Structure 1
Amino acid sequence: MIVFLVSCAVLASVANGGISNDCLRCICKVESSGCRAIGCNWDVNSVSCGYFQIKKDYWIDCGRPWRSWKECANDYNCAAGCVRSYMDRYGGSRGCNGNCESYARLHNGGPSGCRKSSTKTYWNDVKREGCTVNS
């Protein structure tokens, strides 16, 4: 049932023009050295896990899919669905555009990340993986 709900969230996001598969792929490559389940690591004052290095608060904001944060983060489909839900929640607010740059900077810097100068370096990392503003 939970996998079905995550799948529905992913399909709804794609249908509504949320984060693209290309942008998601570039973020994943940056976060986990080529888009791999790398487990959990200490990162900027808290633990981050999985393909997208998802923190527990991020997982809560994306709707707490699956049984646990760490299990979701280390399953690509669940983690991607979580990122999509997070972007759907924050992508059109707080002055963020619905483009790959805004999504990447939100992922890196939280709900207001698209406006933080500290996330520009992260966006440059995402661009190096082949994404553009319109990816």
Structure 2
Amino acid sequence: MTPLKPLLSDLSRAAIPPIVVVALQATRMSLLPGALSFDILMHFLGGAAIAWSAMIVYRRWEARGWIHADAIVRDYAVWMTAVFVGVIWEWWEFWMERWTHRIYQLSMGDTMQDLFMDTIGALFLVLVYRLRKKK
């Protein structure tokens, strides 16, 4: 079996948590278009979903013998993956504002809050994983 097939399998499985979060947001927007924004909650869930995806990939690649590292290194890598994706997302919003002339970022404070919630969501996932692992 070529390494490409398990790699694609791992990445497709890892795509599920973020897809669920995007589907939740799309459903909320279609059912309650004028309702209160769930931006804070969605960034928390998004950070947790990206961390969950990174954990899926890490654990599957570890099981395949492709990578080896201590738990603390794994947890840090998972956390930083979510933080990195959060930063990329905020840059995407910034450039989309320039391109479409629509408002995606309300203020610098909003952007910092979004990044903070991405980070907290990822840390929450890592802590839950650690606590479940200890049982």
- Fold shared, TM-score > 0.5 on shorter chain: no
Q: Which of the five TM-score ranges fits, normalised by the shorter chain? A: under 0.3
Structure with bigger strand share is 1
Flag the structure with larger Rg. Answer: 2
Structure with the higher fraction of residues in helix conformation: 2
Higher relative CO (CA 8 A, sep ≥ 6), structure 1 or 2?
A: 2
TM-score normalised to the size of structure 1? 0.26
Normalising by structure 2, we get a TM-score of 0.26
